[in-house]
Amino acid sequence: MSVETPLIGDFTAAPAQSRLAGARIGVVTFPGTLDDRDAARAVRLGGGTPVALWHADQSLHGVDAVVLPGGFSYGDYLRAGAIARFAPVMDTIVKEAQAKDTSAAALPVLGICNGFQILTEAHLLPGSMIKNNHLKFICRDQALRVENNQTAWTSQFTDDEIIAIPLKNQDGQYVADDATLAQLEDEGRVVFRYVGGNPNGSRNDIAGITNEAGNVVGLMPHPEHAVEAGYGPDDTTGMRNGTDGLTLFTSVISSLAGATK
């Protein structure tokens, strides 16, 4: 029961009583994180169990995957994600996300917006985000094409599926050098591409990318805001009914549940 005023990082609502609930997904809160409750809700609606992780705590408390949610960590006054990348929790995430040991699969990590910026600052993903080319914060429903459905977070999408999820950011213009862009394209590591107009000047219309192993995914738009009919982007069935973002969470949760049971 969510009868008390929820605190940030206080994800105490009862998880779904299902086989999937065994999948424990950590949601990190940095000072200045804003979408942590939304990410936790997305995990819960996807059937998993959200676990609050604190920036200053090195332990991941045995979670099976991690979400770095959106916000303005440490105010983003220096450069988006630049300080968060040095938080104790990031040391563990970086290590576990890069695990090559075959006995322990690499930790699935999803970085959303500020989380994506943190992942690039931590060098788990290449490139960087700069200010939108129109210099304004932009909030809108955004169409994306799923170009890689082989990652930990996109396995339940169909190839080239067009989805709609909200976009909202100030520093969302993805940039990388030509060699990096070519490598991302050649290796099929562009996971999401903007369609119906590039909202921020991102190179190659890139909205989200993955690492070589496919366990780390970062994207600028917000799948956690498209998980519940009535509170998401508009879709053909009505206002705010879009729930395409939920598939990122169900993808990782069902594969984790399948692996552990």
Partner 1 sequence: MTENASEQPTAAEVPVHQTQFNIDTVANAAATPETELPWAELGLKEDEFHRIVDILGRRPTAAELAMYSVMWSEHCSYKSSKVHLRQFGEKVTEEMKKDLMVGIGENAGVTNLGDGWAVTFKIESHNHPSYVEPYQGAATGIGGIVRDIISMGARPVGVMDPLRFGDIDHPDTKRVLPGVVSGIGGYGNSLGLPNVGGEVVFDSVYQDNPLVNALAVGVMRHEDIRLANASGVGNKVVLFGARTGGDGIGGASVLASESFDDSKPSKRPAVQVGDPFAEKVLIECCLELFKNELVEGIQDLGAAGISCATSELASNGEGGMHVELTNVLLRDPTLTPGEILMSESQERMMAVVTPQNVEAFEAVMGKWGVEYSWLGEVTDTGRLIIEWNGETIVDVDPRTVAHDGPVYERPYHRPSWQDELQADTFRASPAAQNLPATAEELGSAVVELMAQPNMANASWITDQYDRFVGGNTALSVPDDAGVIRVDEETGLGVALSTDCNGRYAYLDPYTGAQLALAESYRNVATSGAIPMAVSDCLNFGSPEDPEIMWQFAESVRGLADACMELGVPVTGGNVSLYNQTAGRAIHPTPVVGVLGKFDDVGRRTPSGFQRWADGQAIYLLGVTRDELDGSEFARMRGHLGGLPPKVDLAAEKTLGEILINASRDGMIDSAHDLSEGGLAAALAEMSLRFGVGARVAVDGICERDGVDAFTALFSESQARALVALPRSEELRFTDMTSARGFAALRIGVVDAESGGLEVTGPFEGGSFGIGLDELKEAWSSVLPSRFDTAIEATEALMK
Residues noted as catalytic: 113, 222, 224
Q: Alpha-carbon dihedral of residues 187, 189, 192, 197, nearest 10 degrees?
A: -50
With respect to partner 1, which residue has the nearer C-beta, 5 or 102? 5
With respect to partner 1, which residue has the nearer C-beta, 182 or 239? 239
**Which residues sit at the interface with partner 1, rule CB under 8 A?**
1-8, 13, 31-32, 34-35, 37-38, 41, 71-72, 74-77, 134-140, 166, 168, 170, 222, 224-225, 227-228, 230-231, 234, 236-240
> Per-residue DSSP letters for 96-144?
HHT---TTSPPPPEEEETHHHHHHHHTTSS-SEEE--TT-S-EEEEEEE
The least CB distance from residue 99 to partner 1, in Å, is 30
With respect to partner 1, which residue has the nearer C-beta, 66 or 84? 84
The least CB distance from residue 200 to partner 1, in Å, is 12
The least CB distance from residue 185 to partner 1, in Å, is 29
With respect to partner 1, which residue has the nearer C-beta, 71 or 208? 71
Residue 165's Cα: distance from chain center in Å? 12
Report the alpha-carbon distance of residue 137 to residue 230 in Å, rounded. 24
The least CB distance from residue 248 to partner 1, in Å, is 15
Task: Judge residue 79's burial from the number of C-beta atoms within 10 Å of its C-beta, 0-12 exposed, 13-18 middle, 19 or more buried.
Answer: middle
